[in-house]
Structure 1
Amino acid sequence: MLKRLTKALRPILIGLSVVVAVVACSRIDLAYRNLDTLVPWSLGDYLDMNREQKTWLDQRLQQHLAWHCKTQLPGYLDWLDKMREMVARDQVTDQALQQRTAEARQAIARVTEAITPSATELLRGMNDAQVEEMRQAFREDIRERQSKYVETPLPKQIQNRANRMEKRLTPWLGELNAAQRQRVMSWAQALGDQNRQWIANRAHWQQQLVLAMEQRATPNFEPRLAQLLQRKESLWTPEYRAAFQNSELQARSLLVDLMRESSPAQRQYLQERLVKVRTSFSELKCLKG
């Protein structure tokens, strides 16, 4: 399935998620769910490929992974070193987090750009039945997310949001203290009703992709798909753009405060965690080769 690339890249890219997952969007967890950026490679959740398409994907998958490990991974090691130095020197500031986030996004953008030609070729070859299957699956996806994240009363949404964030933070900081848990709750409250804007924007993007798929046999398909993949923010709804900006601001503030309220043991725990992630990267055979 197309989602295999997501699974294959996940352990390679996990280091980027330390900041991006929290700062970029509160719904992204620390297992690099920010690979939502690479949506075409997760379309296996929405359609079935035939044998020829699966074989083709397997071949491209290996090529992309080899390129990624040899050309992109060394930069991730440097990025993790910067993260660890920030923690060691007690320099987790808003400005520093903005810089690390910008670097991580640039890395994500390079991967997205690299896979766009393959995504274009794959999606262009989809037949009408597969496109219709995608359309129906997108509708079901939005219905499920609305039921889970929007139809729930707002106080419950906020509590669930806080619970998810605590769960994401624990593997990096250990158990949160009372002040940190309260700070997570105030962060969750500050995001308000953003679930509604997030899902509406997701539906808007999916609709734009389906419209593009209807033109997949035309010369306009390739540049349109490139925009959908590489410049998704250009298609955001105004409401989601505002919610996203607020989300980033609130998340950076959260991280700064959590580190300010952290104990020496938590900071040591975080540094050790970062070291382990870096070590796992540096020992990959593809990097050594």
Structure 2
Amino acid sequence: MAINGRRIALATGLALLVLLAAGCSRIGLVYNRLDTLAQFQIGRYVDLTAQQRADFDTRFDATWAWHRRSQLPLYAAELRQLAHTVAAPMTPQQVEQLGARWREHADLTTRESLKVAAPTLAALSDEQVGELLIAAEKRAAKEQQKLAKLDDAEWRALRVDQAADRLDEWTNAVTPPQRARLVQWAAQLQRPPPDPQAARRRQFAELLKSRREPGFEQRLQTYAFEPFTGEVAAMNEPQTQASRQLLAELSGMLTAPQRAYFRDKLLDMARQMDQLVVNK
């Protein structure tokens, strides 16, 4: 299981916003299999017992029903509003407001997802915890080995490619001026130090030591949201502002065909979500 709190939420299969950010156009196919994907994600890091799997399924089913009943209608409405908004260039302030609304949705889903994850983590044996932490370290080491092979220019080129791929998902074709703006953005990025999540993994390991003590779920919630509040959030604010400016400028650079593609994709996603809503 990944250590970042947002990824813990994804491991329970409820972080649908991740699918949206990735431009996934087959929401129904993926969403209707999230229970299986959730177990697979957890199973990548630790083998659950039959009882642990059964308990997880019970909690997951209830939270999944809540998500489909109360959250998907909100997402669909937001997507339809965004489809209207993208008809014209957005200002950085509009980008900030849009981001704030989606963060509210993501935060709520994350909190509910952690309620599913917490009892599963609390029920892990010492051997399972050790298995989980070793797997997390191995995954982190593998990622760091990949990044260590890149010099600064290659690292920035990778960031450009990643951003261009995401933009391409929503616009169908990135134009040369848009890619040039991404190159300009990447040139201003500060490369993170090696293994920036090492301290978070150590913190998570300490947190798991108290997994059977009262208040574990709340401590897990605090851990998950810590990077997005207080001093850490303040330190990241300049980069956040730069990202808002980038998105606003890219919004102004969209061609008419790109806007139409973006709008149609958003509306199609909203229709798919309507079909997934349950009323009971």
What TM bracket, shorter-length normalisation?
Answer: 0.7 to 0.9
Percentage of pairs with the same residue: 24
- Cα gap change, 1:222/1:262 in structure 2, threshold over 3 Å: closer, same or farther? closer
* Contact kept? 2:160, 2:182, Cα under 8 Å: yes
Secondary structure of 1:219's counterpart equals: coil
How far off is 1:230 after superposition?
Answer: 4.0
* Contact kept? 1:159, 1:185, Cα under 8 Å: yes
Read off the aligned partner of 2:113 and give its amino acid letter: I
CA distance in 1 between counterparts of 2:149 and 2:215 reads 38
Question: Counterpart of 1:276?
Answer: 268
- Cα gap change, 1:261/1:118 in structure 2, threshold over 3 Å: closer, same or farther? closer
Question: Counterpart of 2:32?
Answer: none
CA distance in 1 between counterparts of 2:53 and 2:239 reads 38
Equivalent residues in 2 for 1:115-154 (5 A)? 115-154=113-152
Question: Counterpart of 2:52?
Answer: 53
1:178 aligns with 2:170: no
CA distance in 2 between counterparts of 1:57 and 1:220 reads 19
Question: Counterpart of 2:14?
Answer: 9
TM score, norm. by length of structure 1: 0.80
* Higher RCO (CA < 8 A, seq sep 6+): 2
How far off is 1:30 after superposition?
Answer: 4.1
Question: Counterpart of 1:80?
Answer: 79
CA distance in 1 between counterparts of 2:218 and 2:9 reads 25
CA distance in 1 between counterparts of 2:123 and 2:12 reads 23
Question: Counterpart of 2:259?
Answer: 267
Q: Structure 1: where are the runs of 5+ without partners?
A: 18-28, 33-38
Question: Counterpart of 1:208?
Answer: 203
- 1:131-190 deviations in Å (ceiling 9; x for gaps): 111221121122112112244211101111111111111121121111111011111222
**Residue of structure 2 aligned with 1:251, choices 243, 256, 277:** 243
**Residue of structure 2 aligned with 1:219, choices 214, 232, 248:** 214
1:68 aligns with 2:67: yes
- Cα gap change, 1:168/1:5 in structure 2, threshold over 3 Å: closer, same or farther? closer
Read off the aligned partner of 1:248 and give its amino acid letter: T
How far off is 1:250 after superposition?
Answer: 2.3
Secondary structure of 2:211's counterpart equals: coil
Read off the aligned partner of 2:266 and give its amino acid letter: L
Question: Counterpart of 1:287?
Answer: 278
Taking only aligned residues, the RMSD between alpha carbons, in angstroms, comes to 3.0
* Contact kept? 2:160, 2:186, Cα under 8 Å: yes
- 1:200-237 deviations in Å (ceiling 9; x for gaps): 1x22222111101112222253332121134443587x
* Count, aligned residues: 263
Question: Counterpart of 1:22?
Answer: none
* Contact kept? 1:94, 1:256, Cα under 8 Å: yes
CA distance in 2 between counterparts of 1:283 and 1:71 reads 13
Q: Structure 2: where are the runs of 5+ without partners?
A: 3-7, 28-37
CA distance in 1 between counterparts of 2:275 and 2:39 reads 29
How far off is 1:13 after superposition?
Answer: 3.4
Question: Counterpart of 2:34?
Answer: none
- Cα gap change, 1:7/1:138 in structure 2, threshold over 3 Å: closer, same or farther? closer
CA distance in 2 between counterparts of 1:53 and 1:278 reads 35
